[in-house]
Amino acid sequence: MRRMGASSLAFPEFRGATRRLVLLNLAAFFVVLVLSLAGTDPLKAVLVRALFQPDSFLHGWLWQPLTYSFVHMPGAIFGTLFELLSLWFLCGFLESYHGDSWVMGLYGSSVLGTAAAALAMYAAFALLHLQVLTLPLYGCFGGIFGMLIAIGLLYGDLDFMMFPLPISIKARYLAVIYALVSLAFLFTDERMYAFAQLGGAVGGWLYLRWMPRRGVSFALSEQWYGLRNRYYRWKRRRAARKFEVYMKSQGRTVRFDGQGRSIDDEHNDRTRWN
């Protein structure tokens, strides 16, 4: 693990994935704010479709696991400000070491893990015929928690300043405290919200565990090129078999290996240089 000293109070550079995520969240906040001023009907119509609600998702609203993270309530100005500043700091810090696509993949995995945890809890209570207070999910808290877990695992010795207190705490301890607070909320009426937040941490951990260092886009491109190369090798082997049949009909025998390469040509190449 890389050892690092105390972090400064300056925010990281505002660029790349950090800028996109913060501006998208900020734009969505003002859209909801304008709709709230226009009346309750337009606001309600947008929120019902954008927020993540397990029952709505199961009835075909499949976009909600992605859209809910950009929705912020118009009355929670200070809460939204804290979320966006946290997103700027954590995302910018990770992007400076891992790049744009890696951070976007981490954020997406954490957001989807949050929605998956809420859906799993809803399904479990439904199977057990128990009642659970289903609070609609909104905000980027899941993505923030996933990034905090990533920093705690990768840069556990980094010291964070506990603003406004003049004390610092290591990243790994801050992640543990955050997780313990979420566990405590499991025993309140906001248990689904807390369990979903823990799902964001699990989503971030799974991303660190299974995704490559260069991000999801790099992994997908590698799989695509690997699939394309397997297709070309298959075409070459098929052409080699057809050529064998053709040459046999002409009274000649040629041989190819499992990759479609002529064995006789390889032998001639070796003898040519000896």
In angstroms, the CA 133 to CA 125 distance is: 10
CATH 1.20.1540.10 residue ranges of the chain are 16-211
Q: What is the mean pLDDT of each run of 10 residues along the chain (274 residues)?
A: 49 88 92 83 81 87 91 83 90 90 92 92 84 79 92 87 71 88 84 88 90 58 69 77 76 72 55 43
CA-based Rg of the chain, rounded to a whole angstrom?
A: 27
What is the fold of 16-211? Rhomboid-like fold (1.20.1540)
- The per-residue pLDDT for 272 is 43
- The per-residue pLDDT for 273 is 42
- The per-residue pLDDT for 237 is 79
In angstroms, the CA 247 to CA 218 distance is: 43
- The per-residue pLDDT for 174 is 86
- The per-residue pLDDT for 220 is 60
Nearest CA-CA partner of 104 in 68, 138, 66: 66
Q: Residue 81 in contact with residue 64, Cβ under 8 Å?
A: no
pTM: 0.72
Specify the residue for token string 């996933």: 146
